[in-house]
Each structure stands twice: as structure tokens, then as C-alpha cells.
A and B are shown apart, each in its own frame.
Chain A
């Protein structure tokens, strides 16, 4: 699909290094993940949450509310080009919208696989780094013209709180796939930096 049928086209950004069980770990723990994430699903336009944990050795584990999304993007290869789980973005940015990171050459294919087919209108990632881990909180909304992006910009503190609440509940799941207990040391930060606000210009009525 993302090749010209003769050769592999390298992605524009660094591909993620996946944990060997990343494809199926969300199916293996679907019940517990559902129980944990359903506490925030429905709030603030959130219809999907995936917590992707990158261990200090760079391996990414994906713990998703919709395991089929993970399965599909890995099987069709679009995860290489969608950028949302690429170190190029999560190592440098604290917040980004999914469609900012799509490989422009395959924008429509990637959007189709990750968003259109799953009915997702908008998705954003919030990143937290601690003890050598990168934690990606991936929120998405299925509502048309969702305000998710601006909600996160305005209330990133609340979204991170929700993310950490769910992280607390799934640490046990993650520990089955990672030899080490450092994940249990990760706590929500006391101070959360606000996301850069868009540069708004005040429009005044020049007749007055």
C-alpha cells in the first residue's frame, strides 16, 4: 500500500521500536484496560485513549482502549508513516496533534487507516518524561468538529491528570511486559507547563 510495489519507501521520520508483544498486548488485557479507561471515556470529547510507554531501552508498549486500531496500523504498515508514535516527535515535543505528524507523501492513506476507518475526527498526544521513560497519552475524539485539540490546549493539566489516573490503573499490566519496577515510581508532576497557546489577535471594531 505504501510502496510503489517495487521497493520499500523509507518513512520521513524515525520509526518507533516496538515491544515484541505490542501488537497483541491490548487484546490480551482488553478487560482490564476497558475497566481502567472507561473512567474517562466520554469526558471532554474523549472517545479513545491509548497510553504508549517507551521504556529507557527505547521499546514502545501500547496499551489501547481500541486494540483493533493498533492491530490494523501495524498490519497494514501505516504506523511507520503516521509519525504519532515516532521518536522524532515524542522525544522533542510535549504536545502535538496526530495529523501534524503524518508523512505528507502518504497523508490520505495514513489518515484513512488511523482516523477515517475508526471514525476518529481528531487525535492529540501529550508527552511526559520521567526515569528515562517517555509516556505518550494519546487522546482521540469521534465527534464531528470536535474541540479536542483546543480543549487540550486550554486544559492540558486536566488531560494529563486524567492520563495519569489511567496510567496508575494500568501499571500492573505494563509490568507484565517490562522487567523492572521503575514504572511504579512515576508520579504525576507537581507543576505542569501550560501548552503554548495559539497566537490570538484581538479584533477591534475600528469604527468606534
Chain B
């Protein structure tokens, strides 16, 4: 397993490529950093200072905490960023299989967290579907129970390696389970 500087360097390299800079030289030129300094940051020969981590994270639009530790989401999530995140994830998986980067558990959110990085697109889809289902069927569910269920559904769906369509179908299954659990008979069963 690589040391910390090498691991940070590998994440920096992955992010640089995902941001569209094919070579280290392209990025160094664009940022007006000496090429040798930047190369040493990528190879882990030179340690990054906290200021440099924040600088690179800002320029490459990634999370500084992820660049430093590898835990959590690599980049701020949102529309038009799914492709970049997928590319980063693919590269990380490759390096993990080669044992060059460590494996971390899937980052899950908890109701007791003070703060968390959340895929808001997915979370709001789950919450919206749940509220729609409740109002359409006139269900009475405790608010805290609903939030806890939505967080669980989010944690169960976020890290599934599958297509967006299948994820959407699984969201429907989870939300429908709430209706079934409250004795609402569904019109049709969803087939995947």
C-alpha cells in the first residue's frame, strides 16, 4: 500500500484527468506552477501544504477533505457532475484493485451527523417521492420516522453500482414499501 503523500498524489492525478487536463504539464501551465513542483505533488515526492490542498481542490472543483483523506465524495455533487464523479470513481476502483489506494467503507449519512456531504439530487428525489406518496394516499406518518426512513433509503441506494434508471426504480420500490407497510394496496407491481 502506498504512503499518504503518494495516495494524495494519486487522487490529485485522477482529479486532474477528470477535469480535462490530459497531462500534468497542461495543468501546471494553466495554473502557472513550475512543472517539476506539480509533478512531485502528483508522484508524492513532495508533500502538499494545507494551502496547496485547498488551492488544487478549488481549481479542480473537488472536495479538499476527499483529496486529503480519500473518505467521502470526491467532488461536489450536482447536475452535470455525475459523469465526472463516475470517471473519478472508475479510476479509484482501478487503483484499489491494484492495491495502490486503500478501500474505505461507503460514506453513509446519519441523523446524528452535524454535517455531511449529501447527494442532494438523490436525497431530494427520495424525499419528494415519499411526500407525494403520503399526500396522495392521505397517510399519517410521524415526521421523524419519515426522515429516518428516507435517510436509510438514501444510504441503501446511493452506493449501488447501477444505472440511473434502475436506481429510480429502486426508489419507487422503497417508497412503495412505505405504502404497503401502511396497508395501502398498490395498483401494480413494479418489474425491473
Q: List residues of A whose CB falls within 8 A of some B CB.
A: 24, 27-32, 34-35, 66-68, 71-72, 75-76, 112, 116-119
Contact = CB atoms under 8 A, between A and B. Distances in A.
Nearest to A64: B156
Given A30-B153, A30-B156, A68-B159, A119 B105 contact: yes
Identify the 3 closest CB pairs spanning chains A and B, nearest first. A31-B181, A119-B105, A68-B156
A31 B177 contact: yes
For chain B, give the interface size range: 20 to 34
Contacts of B103: 112, 116-117
A72 B159 CA distance: 9
Given A27-B170, A67-B156, A116-B105, A32 B177 contact: yes
Interface of B: 103, 105-106, 108, 149, 152-153, 155-157, 159-162, 170, 173-174, 176-178, 180-182, 192
A79 to B, nearest CB: 15
Contacts of A72: 159-161
Contacts of A34: 149, 152
A119 B106 contact: yes
Contacts of B155: 68
Q: Main SS of the interface on chain A?
A: helix
A201 to B, nearest CB: 36
Given A68-B157, A75-B161, A31 B105 contact: no
Given A30-B153, A30-B174, A71-B160, 5 more contacts: A24-B170, A31-B149, A31-B174, A72-B159, A118-B105
A27 B167 CA distance: 11
Nearest to A120: B105
Given A66-B156, A116-B103, A119-B106, A35 B181 contact: yes
Given A30-B156, A75-B161, A24 B192 contact: yes
